[in-house]
Amino acid sequence: MRPALLRQVVLFLAVAVVFQLLAVAGGQVFLLTQLTMSLYYTLVVLGLSLLMGYAGQISLGQAGFFAVGGYTAAALCTWDLAARRSSEWVAAAERTGLLTARTDAFGALVLTVHPWPSLALAVLLSMALAVVVGIPVLKLKGNYLAMATLGVGTIVYSIPLGTARLGAADGISGVPPFPLLPGISVDGSPRSRIANYYVACVVLAVAMLLLLNLVHSRVGRALRAIHGAEDAATAMGIDTARFKVRTFVLGAALAALAGVLLTHFNGAIGPSEASVMKSVKYVAIVAVGGMGSLWGTLAASLVLNFLSLRGYFGTLDDAVFGAILIAVMLFAPEGILRIDLRRTLGLAARGPRAPAEPR
Amino acid sequence: MPLLRVSSLSKSFGGVHAVRGVSFDVEKGMIKALIGPNGAGKTTLFNLVSGFVLPDAGEVRFDGRPIRGVPPHQVADLGLSRTFQNIKLFAGMTALENVMVGRHVRSRSGFLASMLHLPSTWREEAEVRERSVELMDFLGIAALADSEATSLAYGQQRAVELARALASEPRMVLLDEPAAGLNMRETAELARLIGRIRDRGVTVLLVEHDMSLVMDISDEVVVLSYGEKIAEADPGTVQKDPQVIRIYLGEEEC
């Protein structure tokens, strides 16, 4: 690991600890719930930041991938197979640990897919969708790409809304806890609030570390080159289509992971998670955070999502994010919080440069 | 066997024959220039050779291998690198990073290896950086390494673009009007550089308007007019060719 990047991530975790301690000291532990949710939403936004801020490709369908993850997990983990226990397939799946049995509030046996295989399937499904959609759609540029991804987002939104099995407008509730590690599970009970906050922090920190490594690598350079001058990138041997699709798929995987974990945390998911307005919100956050700045995006996402979840924007929530997007595009297309932690904190993210001397 | 063989290449855009039945060879280790008045089809020919535009007819062979229809990123991978007439540096990246992108085809780290920052990745990254700095040093622009590429002076941007094209260690570079926008001193410097690039074993094919540069450094010159080849010879012979004189100086009035 690059020490400088590792230091940045450790610093992030330290700040997270300070927040937790302050919340406890101030008797406001309930705030950690919204912070946890913001951390998961930030995972979604980081994936989009890679696509938009680095590769320069817009997507108005990011919420769709979150929803694919969340709905897959919710559907699989609430799909009661107890009545079909006699079936050979179900029995075999139970023996291999793919299924998990529990008793519901009335003492009846419930047999559903275990959250781990459901997580794997959710992420894979989202990535598969990203491949299928990304290959044709990412051939488009600019406004056309925006419109096409908007179309994809709209289609994904209409699926849970129109499917009774997915709860239609009500969504799916009663999603069981996710037993992540012995003694730690992702769920919404007030008792595990602090543990869940840290789970989200660690998941985000790990994702951040991987993405920071990525953007400071050959791949990151290739993505920025695509953004900077696409045909010159092609002339340098970069298979631009392939890099765009892979970035899209990575973003979809992160969104799906966030969708799964947040759905277990909330115990439910509704169709609004897939709505186009959610995607616009994510785009607005990336815009505020600064194109090509992962830390800026992270900061913008945590603050804006937290304020939004706490209800500070009230019924004007969507309007606020719309206004933010317009304001950023008009006055600061490079982003407001373009935080360069390297410079601000004097941490060199890149390796030492060879001495540059004039000839 | 010539390094590059262009045979009967044709391309028309909506009825206009941009390139019509053009054939020529470029031998290994030579500097060859393509000249001709505006609209003669020089840039189109470049785009055909580098795979950016698909020809209507004809063939391009690079090192004996047909490369017609090969996508441009693979052409680069084969060892044929190019620059652009209107410099296309990557905005938002330093000069060094621009050159490092040039080494894309000489490095392998993909998404997973990069995210995990495997030992192979950081070794490769160090090598990419080292070779890029070395190359900038060779071209005398090492001092510009940390400057934002698109904020550099025009001549410097040309040099960075040249470094980027050479970073892939190509066997051949296509230079599209490398002297455009350069002053006389910079052009003289460029001529010297192109010579040194050839001395490194890189074959050079360039499109150029600056006659003094072309006549100075080229081993052979191909003259295009209205998409057709009208002459191909060493610079001295081309300069004396009546047909070439006519297209450059206009018809003699009788």
Q: Which of A8, A221, A242 to mutate to test the interface with B (most CBs of B within 10 A)?
A: A221
Give yes or no for a contact between B167 and B103, defined as CB atoms under 8 angstroms apart.
yes
Query: In the A/B pair of chains, how many CB contacts fall below 8 A?
Result: 137
Taking the C-alpha atoms of residue B131 and residue B107, their distance in angstroms, rounded to an integer, is 12
| Model pLDDT, residue A352 | 36
Which of B76, B91, B136 comes nearest A236 by C-beta? B76
| Model pLDDT, residue B169 | 95
| Model pLDDT, residue A348 | 38
Q: What is the pLDDT of residues B192-227, one digit of tens each?
A: 999 999 999 999 999 998 888 999 999 999 999 999
Is residue A10 a part of any domain in this protein? yes
- Whether chain A has a CB inside 8 Å of the CB on B74: the answer is yes
The answer to whether the CB atoms of A353 and B96 lie below 8 A apart is yes
Strands A172-173 and A268-269: antiparallel
Q: What is the 3-state secondary structure (H, E, C) of chain A?
A: CCHHHHHHHHHHHHHHHHHHHHHHHCCCCCHHHHHHHHHHHHHHHHHHHHHHHHCCCCCCCHHHHHHHHHHHHHHHHHCCCHHHCCCHHHHHHHHCCCEEEEECCCCCEEEEECHHHHHHHHHHHHHHHHHHHHHHHCCCCHHHHHHHHHHHHHHHHHHHHHCHHHCHHHCEECCCCEEEECCEEECCCHHHHHHHHHHHHHHHHHHHHHHHHHHCCHHHHHHHHHHHCHHHHHHCCCCHHHHHHHHHHHHHHHHHHHHHHHHHHHCEECHHHHCHHHHHHHHHHHHHHCCCCHHHHHHHHHHHHHHHHCCCCHHHHHHHHHHHHHHHHHHCCCCCCCCCHHHHHCCCCCCCCCCCCCC
For residue A261, CA distances in Å to A161, A187, A285 come to 21, 9, 21
Q: φ and ψ at B139, to 5 degrees?
A: -90, 0
- Residues constituting chain A: 359
B91 C-beta neighbours (distance < 10 Å), count = 16
> Which amino acid, one-letter code, is at A277?
M
- Whether chain B has a CB inside 8 Å of the CB on A277: the answer is no
Q: Is the pTM of this model over 0.80?
A: yes
Is residue A353 a part of any domain in this protein? no
Burial label, B239 (beta-carbon count in 10 A; 0-12, 13-18, 19+): middle
The answer to whether the CB atoms of B164 and A236 lie below 8 A apart is yes
Q: Residue A53's closest CA among A284, A295, A287, A218?
A: A287
The answer to whether the CB atoms of A219 and B104 lie below 8 A apart is no
Give yes or no for a contact between A125 and A68, defined as CB atoms under 8 angstroms apart.
yes
Q: Among all chains, which residue has been given the structure tokens 């765009």?
A: A244
Q: Which of A217, A226, A248, A350 to mutate to test the interface with B (most CBs of B within 10 A)?
A: A217
The answer to whether the CB atoms of A356 and B143 lie below 8 A apart is yes
Taking the C-alpha atoms of residue A234 and residue B73, their distance in angstroms, rounded to an integer, is 5
Taking the C-alpha atoms of residue A111 and residue A100, their distance in angstroms, rounded to an integer, is 6
Identify the DSSP state of B220: E
Taking the C-alpha atoms of residue A309 and residue A195, their distance in angstroms, rounded to an integer, is 20
Which of helix, strand or coil describes residue B218?
A: coil
Chain region(s) in chain B for CATH 3.40.50.300: 1-79+170-254
Which residues make beta-bridge pairs with B222? B34, B232
Fold of B1-79+170-254: Rossmann fold (3.40.50)
Each residue's pLDDT expressed in tens, for chain A with a length of 359 residues: 678 899 999 999 999 999 999 999 999 999 999 999 999 999 999 999 999 989 999 999 999 999 999 999 999 999 999 888 888 999 899 889 899 998 888 888 999 999 999 999 999 999 999 999 999 999 998 889 999 999 999 999 999 999 999 999 999 999 999 999 998 999 999 999 999 999 999 999 999 999 999 999 999 999 999 999 999 999 999 999 999 999 999 999 999 999 999 999 999 999 999 999 999 999 999 988 877 789 999 999 999 999 999 999 999 999 999 999 888 878 776 665 554 433 433 333 343 333 343 43
Is residue A321 a part of any domain in this protein? yes
Is residue A282 a part of any domain in this protein? yes
Q: Residue B199's closest CA among B219, B222, B220, B221?
A: B219
- Whether chain A has a CB inside 8 Å of the CB on B89: the answer is yes
Q: Measured between beta carbons, which residues in chain B are less than 8 angstroms from residue A217?
A: 109, 114-115, 117, 121, 125
Is residue A352 a part of any domain in this protein? no
C-alpha dihedral sign at A193, A197, A198, A200: positive
- Whether chain B has a CB inside 8 Å of the CB on A229: the answer is yes
User: What strands, in cross-sheet order, belong to the sheet with B80-82?
Assistant: B80-82, B172-176, B203-207, B31-35, B220-225, B228-233
Q: Measured between beta carbons, which residues in chain A are less than 8 angstroms from residue B101?
A: 221-222, 225, 233, 236, 238
Q: φ and ψ at A180, to 5 degrees?
A: -70, -55
Give yes or no for a contact between B18 and B193, defined as CB atoms under 8 angstroms apart.
no
- Whether chain A has a CB inside 8 Å of the CB on B137: the answer is yes
- Cα atoms in the Cβ-side hemisphere of radius 13 Å centred on A258: 31
Query: Distance (Å) from the C-alpha of residue B220 to the closest C-alpha of chain A?
Result: 25
Domain containing A112: what range? Answer: 3-345
Residues of chain B with pLDDT under 70: 251-254
| Model pLDDT, residue A346 | 39
- Whether chain B has a CB inside 8 Å of the CB on A219: the answer is yes
Q: Measured between beta carbons, which residues in chain B are less than 8 angstroms from residue A351?
A: 125-126, 129
Q: Measured between beta carbons, which residues in chain B are less than 8 angstroms from residue A229?
A: 88-91
The answer to whether the CB atoms of B91 and A233 lie below 8 A apart is no
Give yes or no for a contact between A153 and A279, defined as CB atoms under 8 angstroms apart.
yes
Which of A1, A210, A232 comes nearest B88 by C-beta? A232
Q: Among all chains, which residue has been given the structure tokens 């992962």?
A: A294
Q: What is the CA radius of gyration of chain B?
A: 19
> Which amino acid, one-letter code, is at A282?
Y
The answer to whether the CB atoms of A228 and B90 lie below 8 A apart is yes
Q: φ and ψ at A355, to 5 degrees?
A: -60, 130
| Model pLDDT, residue A293 | 87
The tally of domains found in chain A comes to: 1
Is residue A356 a part of any domain in this protein? no
Q: Measured between beta carbons, which residues in chain B are less than 8 angstroms from residue A46?
A: none
Taking the C-alpha atoms of residue B78 and residue B72, their distance in angstroms, rounded to an integer, is 10
| Model pLDDT, residue A358 | 40
Identify the DSSP state of B117: T
